[in-house]
């Protein structure tokens, strides 16, 4: 029974595919369109390289509902901890993108010296620009292509 639900899910959501081998041994791949990555995401990734994780988190949270919240402190703590484990930030790769009228999703692999970290940015529209709606930080890859 579960197999039929999986087939329906894959057919209905074919444009939001994820790169993984499911329990049936089938591999699917994410779609990446760099042109739909919001400016604040790119700015934060660039800030990280030049000015560190504090500047990156500030760029990501700017103009968002979380700009003055304690979310910033917990996200900064995450990056402080991952740098202790993973080393210095080196670069990033966009692994997955998806945009609708009301939301934008970008999944990023942040490449550190020793191991990568992963961030899922879910953006919402505020006026005519995308701002952070939710950020999910992972130490292991959950979505996207394993390029």
Residues 44-88 pLDDT 10s: 999 999 999 888 988 988 888 776 666 666 666 777 788 888 899
Looking at residue 63, the DSSP 8-state letter turns out to be T
**What CATH architecture does domain 34-138 belong to?**
Roll (3.10)
Q: How far is CA 26 from the centre of its chain?
A: 24
The 10s digit of each residue's pLDDT in 98-145 is: 999 999 999 999 999 999 989 999 999 988 899 999 888 887 777 765
| Residues 27 and 17: beta-carbon distance below 8 Å | no
Sign of the Cα pseudo-torsion (1, 24, 144, 100, in order): negative
């Amino acid at each position: 029974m579960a197999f039929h639900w999986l087939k329906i899910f894959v057919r209905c959501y074919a444009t939001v595919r994820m790169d993984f081998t499911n329990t049936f041994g089938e591999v699917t791949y994410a779609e990446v369109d760099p042109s739909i990555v919001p400016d604040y995401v790119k700015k934060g990734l660039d800030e990280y390289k030049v000015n560190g994780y504090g500047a990156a988190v500030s760029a990501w949270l700017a103009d968002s509902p979380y700009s003055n919240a304690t979310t910033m402190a917990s996200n900064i703590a995450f990056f402080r901890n991952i740098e202790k484990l993973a080393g210095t930030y080196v670069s990033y790769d966009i692994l997955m993108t998806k945009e609708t009228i009301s939301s934008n999703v970008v999944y990023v692999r942040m490449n550190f010296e020793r191991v990568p970290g992963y961030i899922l940015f879910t953006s919402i529209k505020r006026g005519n620009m995308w701002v952070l709606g939710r950020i999910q930080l992972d130490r292991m890859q959950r979505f996207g292509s394993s390029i």
